[in-house]
Every structure is written in C-alpha cells, then in structure tokens.
Amino acid sequence: MIILLPPSEGKAPGGRGIWQPREGSFGEALERPRRAVLKDLATASDAHLKVRGDLAVTARQINRQLGRGPSLPGYQRYTGVVFQGLDVASLSADDKRRALRTVVVVSGLLGLVRLSDPVPEYRAPIDARTERLGKLSQFWHGELAESLAALARRHVIVDLLPQAHRAAVTPVGEWQRVDLVSSRGVGGHGAKFAKGRFARWLIQHPDEDLTTWREDRKSTRLNSSHVALSRMPSSA
C-alpha cells in the first residue's frame, strides 16, 4: 500500500547538510523536473506563489536558499495539521518504519517524496505558477506519470489528496480515492487532522478494509456526529 498525502504549508526550519534535487527515493527519476522548478522558484513573483506581505518576504528568502540550504527528513520537515494527526514520532518502531516507506507526499517542488527522504524548507504550492512551467500541478501531471505507474504496479494506491493535488496525478492500477466527509462536507481544518488520523490508522492496520475506519468527534476535531468515507474508483 502507498498512501498519497499533500505536503503542509507549515514546515520546521533548519536541518543538516545541503539538499540536492537528486536525493531521496525518487531523486533519480525526478531530478530534471525538480531542477526546472527550483530554477523558476528563485524568480517567481509573490502573486504566482500566492503569498502576500510578510509571508511573501519569507517565501522569497526561503526559496532563494534552495540548493544551498539544509534538509530534514520529510516526517520532521512537515509540521502542518495533517502531519499532526499522523504523528509519526509517536508510532511504534515497526509502524514508523511502515509509515516512512508507505506515505508518499505530492509536492510542488519535489514531485514525489517519502517521509524518510531529505526535504528542504521551501514554498511552492501545487497551484502556484512560474513563468516557464505554468501551473505546477499541470507541469507535474506529466512528469509523475511514470513514477506513479511504477508504484501502482506493486502497490494499492490510497489517494488522500485534496483536489488541487489530484490535478498533478493520474490514477492507474488499483487506485482508491478517499474523501473524509462530515455533516459539514469535505475539507476544513478538522478534516485535515482527520486525514492524518486516517493515514495513521491505515499504517497501524494495513490489512483492514478502508471503510471500517471511524473516528469520534473529539479525536478528529470535527463538529459532526460521525465521519464517513467516500471511495472513488480509478479512472484508468
């Protein structure tokens, strides 16, 4: 099983060494498109990066350090709500190893990256645009096809991506799209946390049917009486 998650806007600073685009599980396959994004991010406008004010200044400073700054493993770099729900650090040793090889993040800079892979600090929303590449989700859509097909030949793919990130992938093989649905619909802060909890449950119960999962209102932070799953079949 491979679990696809989005990255988080929240990222821990710092790290070790100097990150290079060829690093990580998918570095060999995706080094060329990563370098193309890296080059464009250095000159991307605030509007293209969808940031303003102080956030824009920070984003520019961070992106200008790409290729010269340090890296952290993905599970330490990503600190947003989804990853708070996943909480890799508190997993058992066996489950943590499973998480590091099972969870694959779909990233505007990296394309695909495992939680064990080195990740720099960066600002590259998947729906950002650059001058040469256009919208990053559309750019990555073609670039990721071969790597995703290789994963799908060996694994069931559980797609927990939001719509913006789904624009970067093409379902192939046994591909299960999952949306967490509450009485308020899909999405929101609580749903992000629930998505992380669901990914954690999948890691801890790899042989369970997806539809048997339930989380109570308190643990998911959802103001609803229950959480249901909506699975979408692969279009391939």
What local confidence, expressed as pLDDT, does residue 202 receive?
94
The bridge status of strand 228-232 relative to strand 175-182 is antiparallel
What local confidence, expressed as pLDDT, does residue 50 receive?
66
Q: What is the pTM of this model?
A: 0.88
The 10s digit of each residue's pLDDT in 72-87 is 999 999 999 999 999 9
Which residue type, as a one-letter code, is found at position 134? Answer: G
What local confidence, expressed as pLDDT, does residue 143 receive?
97
Which tokens sit at 139? Answer: 């750019």
Contact 236, 123 (CB under 8 A): no
Quick check: helix, strand or coil at residue 82? helix
What local confidence, expressed as pLDDT, does residue 58 receive?
76
Which tokens sit at 116? Answer: 């064990």
C-alpha span between 8 and 3 (Å, rounded): 15
C-alpha span between 221 and 216 (Å, rounded): 9
The 10s digit of each residue's pLDDT in 147-190 is 999 999 999 999 999 999 999 999 999 999 988 765 554 555 56
CA atoms within 13 A on the CB side of 164: 13
Residue 164 phi, psi (nearest 5): -60, -40
What local confidence, expressed as pLDDT, does residue 194 receive?
87
Residue 121 phi, psi (nearest 5): -80, 130
What local confidence, expressed as pLDDT, does residue 108 receive?
95
- Residue of 38, 193, 17, 5 whose CA lies nearest to 124: 38
What local confidence, expressed as pLDDT, does residue 217 receive?
40
- Residues of the chain with pLDDT below 50 are 185, 216-230, 232-236
Domain chopping of the chain, boundaries = 2-232
Q: Helices (H), strands (E): how many in the chain?
A: 11, 11
List, in order, residues 6 or more apart from 230 with CB less than 8 Å away: 178, 179, 181
Quick check: helix, strand or coil at residue 41? helix
What local confidence, expressed as pLDDT, does residue 230 receive?
45
